[in-house]
Structure 1
Amino acid sequence: MGATAAAVVFCWLGMVLAISFIEAPLKFQAPGITLQLGLGIGRLVFRALNAVEIALASLVMLAVALDPPGPVPLTALGVSIAVLAVQSLLVRPLLRRRSDAVLAGTVEPAGGMRERSHAHYVYAGLEVVKVAALLAAGIALQVGSFAG
């Protein structure tokens, strides 16, 4: 089961890296992209990513419940899941309200498309923490599966 949990964690990690650190920043560099289009794409992509992350976190929790690992992977998984919960329940709603306001024209970023809200920086910082925790969890689970 440790190998299964590790595989799910590495899948989760890959999705976060691909979307948050590759797709999200690059979409605004595409020719002809507008703020409205970029925000719309971002909202769809991150809503889908969030749903998949919740599913993967659930699978990992099931796998570790069936075959509990040691304290290192459990702690790293706990951090990953806690970060996901904070992002989902607290930060994404703030970002959604901000993008609603920008799309409605009631808030205009002073620096154009590249200006970010404070919630965006919080989300990005949490993504870095989540990536580190997922990497630690995946490695610890994989090492544990070789040891067991």
Structure 2
Amino acid sequence: MQGVEQAVRHWLESVVVGLNLCPFAAATVREQRLRIVVSRAEEPVALLDDVQDEINRLDDRPATELDTTLIAIPRMLSRFDAYLDVLDEVERLLKRQGRIGVYQVASFHPAYRFDGLPPDDPSHLTNRAPVPLIHLLREASVAAAVA
């Protein structure tokens, strides 16, 4: 699992921060306010438990200590359509708990495709990652970063 974390960290530093795909990411990484957790889940229910654990962790710590979490999912969701189904479940979880507007979810997957674009469109590359990822972000931090 350590190899997965290293691959995600390398992608984050060289692609996301290195190519400035997300200006918000650079400071968060530099100030060590981003957590990378590698899920051992092999089924959606276990993954949703991991997501809940990370939501709780974000709830328990101020943004100055922990601002965002990347959950790497190496053992499941290799098919992009299955990944999208789980993302829908994560959104429903946030909605049930009244956390829409507190947290938002960003998505990254090795086979990421934006709906309605041709398969070879370069836009897909911005959301491609070495393994499926669920990114939990604090809405207030995102709003402050883009203000």
> If the TM-score is normalised by the length of the shorter chain, which range does it land in?
0.3 to 0.5
More helix by share: 1
TM norm structure 1: 0.32
More strand by share: 2
